[in-house]
Amino acid sequence: MNDIRRTILWVIFGFSLVLLWDQWQVFNGNKPTFLPSSKPAAVASAPAAGSAPAASNGVPAASSSGASGGSAGAVPTQAAAAAPREQVSVTTDLFKATIAVAPVTDLETLRNESVNFSNHILEDAYIGHGPHVREGSPAQNVSRITAPVLMFHGDHDRTVSIAESHMMASRMKDAGKQVELVEFHNLDHQLEDSTVRAEMLDKMDGFLRASLGMAAK
C-alpha cells in the first residue's frame, strides 16, 4: 500500500512540474512545451519614452517618489529590466531615490555565478539570451540612472554575489552618480540578523528623507 501511495505522489509531483514548466514558458512569451493548447500570456504595453504616469492615475509625483527592491526585484527597481519579448520604454527620472537590497545588477554576471552549480541550465534559460540581458542590467546602464542609489549586501551572499553590488557602486562612482553601498559582514542573502535589519531600516529612513526633501526625525 505504501508503494502505491508513493507512486501516486510521484505521478502528481511530476505532472505538477509539467504544468509549472508550461506556464513559465507561456509567461515568458514562448509556446508551451507539453500542452500546446495553453493560451499565451498577454503582455501589457508600457508608457512612451520620456513620459511618466500622472498623479491622477494613482502614481505620486516624481518629486516625492522612491523605489525599493531586493535581489532580482532590484533589477526593475534600478533600471526596469525587460523580458525578451516585452517592449518597454524606461523613464529613469520618475523616482528621486532608489534602494536595493542584495541586488542583481548584471544579468550576465548572475548567469556566470551559477556555472559550477547543478542549476546552471535552468538559470541560463531563465535569464535568456539577447539584447535584453544588457538592456535589463542596471550596471550596464548607469548613465541612464539619475536618482541616488542606496544598496545593502551581505558579504557571504551565495544567491547573488556581493561582487554585483561592488560593480554597480564602482560604475556609478566612475560616472559621477550618487551611490552608497552598505556591506554586512558574515551574512548571507537573507540578512538574518535583527540588529542588522533594524540598522538597515533606519538607514533607509534617513536616505529617503534626505533624497525626497523630508524633515529629519
Taking only the tens place, the pLDDT of each residue in 121-134 is 999 999 999 999 99
- The CB-based long-range contact list for 36-40 (8 Å cut-off, 24+ gap) reads none
**Is residue 54's pLDDT more than 60?**
no
Q: Which domains does the chain have, with CATH numbers?
A: 1-42 (no CATH), 45-211 (3.40.50.1820)
Whether 182 contacts 203, CB under 8 Å: yes
Mean of the pLDDT values across residues 67-73? 62
- Residue 7 CA, chain-centre distance (Å), reads 38
**Contact assessment for residue 179 and residue 173, using Cβ atoms and an 8 Å cutoff:** yes
Q: By C-alpha distance, which of 129, 160, 137, 157 is closest to 77? A: 137
Confidence at residue 173, expressed as pLDDT on a 0 to 100 scale: 97
In this prediction, residues 13-26 reach a mean pLDDT of 71
Residue predicted with more confidence, 213 or 69: 213
Hey, is 193 helix, strand or coil? Answer: coil
If 0-12 CB within 10 Å is exposed, 13-18 middle and 19+ buried, where does residue 152 land?
buried
pLDDT over 90 at 196, yes or no: yes
What stretches of 21-174 adopt beta strand conformation (E)? 66-70, 97-101, 149-154
Q: Does 49 have pLDDT greater than 50?
A: no
C-alpha cell at 80: 526596469
Q: Which three cell numbers stand for residue 153?
A: 549586501
DSSP symbol at 67: E
